[in-house]
Structure 1
Amino acid sequence: MTGPRACAPSELPQLARLADAVFRSKGGSMQAEYPLVFGEENLNFCRVIEEDGRIVSHVGVSIRDASLLGCSLRVASIGAVCTDAAYRGRGYASLLMEDARTLALGEGASLMLISGGRGLYHRLGYVNVGSFRSFTARAEILPVPAEGLRVEPCGAAQIPGLIALHQRLPVRFVRPADDWEKLLAAGMIMNQRGDCLGVWEEGRLVAYAAVQRPRDGAPARVREYAGSETALFAALGAVARYYEASGVEVVAMPGTEDLARLLRNAGAEEKELAFTGTLGILDVDGFFACIHPYVRECLGAPTDALFLDPRQTNSISFEYAGERYALANRGQLTALVFGGSTEEARSIPEAPPGVGEILKRIFPMPLLWYGYNYV
């Protein structure tokens, strides 16, 4: 066995065959569908193990900057975790996940998102937490677009406008133009084929929706949007008709309210979703340094009296006004920070009243939603 190590450029076809054998047995190309992982410029972050002269296990890492309520941080997204069937049970995925964690920390990432919920990730301390809202609206309750509003697919020519709209989101991945080019060309919205539909009002691009193509008359699934939420709501009927779908299903982007309110008032069915995978805070000091402006804004002067100690052997603790609140591990800290209704989010211990009241003024924070950045 050799590795964990980076995938060499000459090995990319071999790696693509392994990923397709595991994830695309019925057809498709992981390399084409997920350029943020399998692009040649990212091969140092395609971590592999070689045995018997070939690649037998892989963990893909995509490291991007993100903005969380005005705070800048680096995020490592993990995907395409796979092992050749003949080499499973040897601990290769665990070795690669630890290698990916070390690599991500070296790149300055303080948060890791994993597109999966297998037991391995939970054993390594990652948790399924976070809270998102999903709305499903039948076509008949959606508005008829007003004159002057149209819905059409976006392409490379619209990238500057898409960037301008996306930059307004309060919780988002930072997505440069070259990422937009690759993602639009790939035609994937998270884990399904999809389209980027622009909403034009009086000839001006005012919103977009990244929509998974519906199957067998199911709702069209909006998995990312940005721009005017009022215009987007007015265009949802046209989105449903574009696909001849039974309606639309929309995941509300974190930190936004208007589209959710409009859908709720229209009678859409609402439900809570957890994050579509597992996650963990990698670097406690680094993460809290990143969100310090947000914490300071929430607390004011008490910020300086709230002390976080991540260096204890078996726990992470907050101290405030003589009270101490200990969390057993980084998984519990991640659950505290991002909240939600999952068992892991509910299982964190109750805080003493003083420090608990302070922490409630900060947490939970909204969590990043993958959208186009799914790997």
Structure 2
Amino acid sequence: MPREIESRWEDGLRSLRRDEFNSLEALVEEVFRPGLVAEYPQFYTPDNVHGMRVVVDQGKVVSHVGCLTRDVSILGCTARAACLGGVATHEAYRGKGYATSLFADTIRVCREDRVDFILVSGYRKMYHRFGCRYVGKDWNYAIKTEPAGVFGTGKIELHPARLEDLCELGKIYRYETVRWIRPLSDLEAFVKGFLLKNRVVKVHLIRGSGGIRGYVVLMEPEHQGDRIAHVLEAAGERGVLISALGKLIKEYNLKQVNIHVLGHDSQFQYLLNHHGAKRNPVNASGTVKLVNFVQFMERMRPHFVELVGENSAKGLVFQERGDKLVFSYSGDEVIAENQGEAVEIIFGTRERKEEQILARGGRAAEILREIFPIPALYYGVNYL
């Protein structure tokens, strides 16, 4: 649990003020690296001060935990997620419990803002104590130079995305079954081009017969001799994306391209497997923490209806009993002892940790196996 807040800075546990933004920028770039703030324009902006929790001492921001909140669409259901990042404390102020207390305060704010879950880009013991867990059953594919020819290039052309392409980009992305619901400002930020982890990121539009058929956001190699690039995000027709990957390998003279594929995207997996791409099992983005368990389950109930029928879905009851999260059905219960166990049940784990809990849940466990795992979100260009 969070340490007791020191009385002398308790009043400073609050959201950032606009006139303190430069002080926050100085802290973040001192703790991480110069130029980092510019890499995340949708996050580090005065428009997001509500999501930035800080401790201020003598007018100076000395500790920060921030989040960016967005609606999301998961298999037709709308939920709300927050990305947490920028966890930083000035060296002279460490060991005082600032980050822990700010993390707890961020969760409180997210709960009040009706956020369902938080994505955290990393792992710390502190995150684990708050219920953050590695979840998801995704895949990382590696496409190497040698078999790239079998991917072909089809009758497509790649073009750099421009600001006038924003509406088309948004339209393509909206066809993805698991996605962020992005304002145009998010799209504008990454179309302009940006650095991420000191690497150039570019958006490539895929044009074919009938117009724009998809896009690939490519993080270029860190060093010229590296020749390994990473796809930060891709959307559109899966066959067209396959052709685009082959074309990018040739145009950039790459040795390898890596791409993260969601576990439920069976069509993309089939095509990549068919073309000889090698894959490794991976978790989804970072770690995930539940914020509003019952609310999230109610928001996903229409999806449960599609899987098990209306009567069975109506029979599902979700409750919080102290620290325990309870899934009930037909008189049986699956009880997660804490939020960490619950998030593993909902999104699933590569290690199948959830099976240890489901093994003692009777009929409730049977129906949970039918409705879970829910596909976990991948950051894409929303990475923090």
Residue in structure 2 matched with residue 275 of structure 1 by the alignment: 284
Map of 2:318 onto structure 1 = 308
Q: In the aligned structure 2, how far is the partner of 1:346 from the partner of 1:78?
A: 28
RMSD: 1.9
1:287 paired with 2:296, answer yes
Cα distance in 2 between the residues matched to 1:257 and 1:238: 23
Moved more, 62-71 or 14-23: 14-23
Query: Does structure 1 residue 232 correspond to structure 2 residue 246?
Result: no
Match of 1:56 in 2: 62
Which of 160, 175, 178 lines up with 1:171 in the alignment?
178
Q: TM-score, normalised by structure 1?
A: 0.93
Question: Is the 1:218–1:246 contact (alpha carbons within 8 Å) kept by the matching residues of 2?
Answer: yes
CA pair 338-366 structure 1, distance change in 2 beyond 3 A:
same
Counterpart position of 1:154: 161
For the residue of structure 2 that corresponds to 1:140, the secondary structure is coil
Paired position in structure 2 for 1:130? 136
- Tell me if the contact between 1:206 and 1:227 (Cα under 8 Å) persists in the aligned partners: yes
2:207 corresponds to which of 183, 200, 208: 200
How many residue pairs match? The answer is: 370
Correspondence for 2:188: 181
The aligned counterpart of 1:326 is 335
Identify the match of residue 22 of structure 2 among 1, 13, 29.
13
Give 2:4's aligned residue.
none
CA contact (8 A) 1:130 1:338 kept: yes
Match of 1:72 in 2: 78
Q: Is the 8 A contact 1:296 1:303 kept in 2?
A: yes
Name the structure 2 match of 1:364.
373
Contact 2:107 2:291 in 1 (8 A): yes
The DSSP-based 3-state class of the residue aligned with 1:62 is strand
Give the gaps of 5 or more residues in structure 1.
none
Is residue 67–residue 170 contact of structure 1 (8 Å, CA) maintained in 2? Answer: yes
Q: What SS is found at the alignment partner of 1:37?
A: coil
Moved more, 270-279 or 255-264: 255-264
| Contact kept in structure 2, 1:189 and 1:211, CA below 8 Å | no
- Structure 2 CA distance, aligned partners of 1:93 and 1:180? 31
Instruction: Name the SS for the 1:50 alignment partner.
Output: strand
TM score, norm. by length of structure 2: 0.91
1:36-69 Cα offsets, whole Å, 9 max, x none, are 2211111121111012431100011101000000
User: How far apart are the structure 2 equivalents of 1:181 and 1:207?
Assistant: 17
Residue of structure 1 aligned with 2:98, choices 62, 68, 92? 92
Worse-superposed segment, 324-333 or 137-146: 137-146
1:235-274 superposed matches below 5 A: 235-253=244-262, 255-274=264-283
Structure 2 letter corresponding to 1:187? F
- Report the alpha carbon displacement of residue 189 of structure 1 after superposing the two structures with TM: 5.6
Contact persistence 1:48–1:55 (CA under 8 A): yes
Letter in 2 for 1:51: D
In structure 2, the residue matched to 1:113 is 119
Distance in 2 (CA, whole Å) between partners of 1:256 and 1:191 is 30
In 1: Cα distance, 2:21 partner to 2:319 partner: 43
Alpha-carbon contact 1:191-1:374 (below 8 Å) kept: no
Q: Which moved more, 1:190-199 or 1:129-138?
A: 190-199
* Identical residues among aligned pairs (%): 29
Distance 1:79 1:344, change over 3 A: farther
Deviations 1:233-290 (A, max 9, x none): 0121211123221021111145423222111112111111112321111111211111
**Counterpart residue identity of residue 41, structure 1:** D
Are the aligned partners of 2:137 and 2:262 in contact in 1 as well (CA < 8 Å)? no
The 2-side partners of 1:347 and 1:13 are apart by: 49
1:76–1:112 Cα contact (<8 Å) kept? yes
Q: Using the TM superposition, give the Cα deviation of residue 101 of structure 1 relative to its aligned residue in structure 2, in angstroms.
A: 0.8
Shift of 1:354: 1.7
Shifted more, 205-214 versus 339-348: the winner is 339-348
Unaligned stretches of 5+ residues in structure 2 = 1-8
Aligned counterpart, 1:145: 153
Per-residue CA deviations over 1:328-356 (Å, capped at 9, x if unaligned) read 01111100000021486566452333222
The residue identity in structure 2 corresponding to 1:195 is K
Query: Shift in Å at residue 304 of structure 1?
Result: 2.2
Cα distance in 1 for residues equivalent to 2:275 and 2:201: 25
